[in-house]
Amino acid sequence: MANKYALALHGGAGPRLGEDYSVVEAHLAELAEEGERLLKAGETALDVVEIMVTNLESSGLYVAGKGSAPNTAGDVELDASIMEGHTQNAGSVSAIKDVVSPVGVARAVLDKSPCVMITGHGANLFAADQGFETIANSKEYYVLPVGVSQADIEQDDMMHGTVGAVALDVHANLASATSTGGVFGKPAGRVGDTPIIGIGTWADEEIAISCTGTGEYFIRAGGALSVANGYKLAGDSLTDALWRMLDEVKRLGGDGGLIAVNRSGEIAMAFNSDGMKRASVSIDNDVLATTFAPCR
Ligand code: ASP
């Protein structure tokens, strides 16, 4: 049995300079420690990324799950996806409403449905069918995440946030998961990059990737699968593969970031916004959580 492991988490690439993200960094560090414990105990990468993202969603600290805001129609619509590398099994939900864990529903799509992506009302029907918990009183449930004010939510400037995790387990398998409340002020039915397999989330035998940023640009830039192809086919280093796609996001006018891990346990992260809330740990490196420190 291989015994390398590696885990990276992100809490979105929308932080603003001058804000204090110490609570978020402490939360990310604590989760990374928990993830390391699970990976060392032999848990699969797929289970660990789901557990990490479920915790990020329910914390209310990030623009995902509990920290999400309503769209212009007054509804909170959530997107999430998850993918296992060696099987390339994947599941995703988009524009799903009032479920506690969108990534949990995405995992159920992966495990129990012949579909890869289920959207809107259909995603809620699927979640109900699978017995997922729904939020009884959404006005009481949702909270403002760290660094976001009510005024920010009312502005129409595509402010955003997302959570994600990538992992290599001791069985040499990779997985990735991503979940978001999307961009603030989005219209009903708007779907970003996060739930699109190959854009917001990708995992195969060689690499696992989770993206965050203004989704429209990640979709137009080719997203996570183009990173994987740069890494596997064009011979880019892991870091160069991330920057190749992110530079394309920038050229188109967008910003954001992404995290990746390869089957050797190398972790790479990149962002072209002011910061990206993130943490990492591996068999070779202790837990490190930060927001504004540059990646290169
Ligand atoms: N990518 C997400 C979206 O566009 C937002 C984010 O990552 O901050 O929905």
Give pLDDT tens digits for 183-202. 988 999 999 999 999 999 99
Place 296 in a pLDDT band, splitting at 50, 70 and 90: low
pLDDT tens by residue, 141-169: 999 888 887 777 776 566 778 999 999 99
Read off the pLDDT of each residue in 14-41 and give the average, rounded to a whole number: 96
User: How confident is the model at residue 156, as a pLDDT?
Assistant: 57
Read off the pLDDT of each residue in 42-68 and give the average, rounded to a whole number: 97
DSSP-assigned beta bridge partners for residue 207: 262
Please state, for a pLDDT cut of 70, what percent of the chain lies above it: 98
Q: Which atom of ligand 1 is nearest to the CA of 191?
A: 9
Ligand 1 centroid – CA 197 distance (Å): 14
Mutate-to-test residue for ligand 1 from 193, 217, 220, highest number of ligand atoms within 8 A of CB: 193
Ligand 1 centroid – CA 158 distance (Å): 9
Contacts of residue 160, Cβ cutoff 8 Å, sequence gap at least 6: 12, 14, 63, 180, 182, 183, 184, 192, 212, 213, 214, 215
Q: Any idea which of 16-20, 23-27, 82-86, 152-156 has the lowest mean pLDDT?
A: 152-156
Could you tell me if residue 42 is left (phi over 0), alpha (psi between -120 and 50 degrees) or otherwise beta?
left
Mutate-to-test residue for ligand 1 from 183, 196, 259, highest number of ligand atoms within 8 A of CB: 183
Read off the pLDDT of each residue in 231-259 and give the average, rounded to a whole number: 97
The residues lining ligand 1, judged by C-beta closer than 6 Å to any ligand atom, are 12, 14, 160-162, 180, 182-183, 192-194, 212-215
Catalytic positions are 162
| Best CA proximity match to 55, nearest among 71, 69, 38 | 38
User: How confident is the model at residue 1, as a pLDDT?
Assistant: 47
User: How confident is the model at residue 230, as a pLDDT?
Assistant: 97
Q: Do 161 and 212 meet the contact criterion of CB atoms below 8 Å apart?
A: yes
Ligand 1 centroid – CA 288 distance (Å): 23
| Best CA proximity match to 172, nearest among 53, 261, 111 | 261
User: Would the pLDDT of 47 be above 90?
Assistant: yes
Homologous superfamily of the 6-14+21-290 domain (CATH): (Glycosyl)asparaginase (3.60.20.30)
Q: Do 277 and 24 meet the contact criterion of CB atoms below 8 Å apart?
A: yes
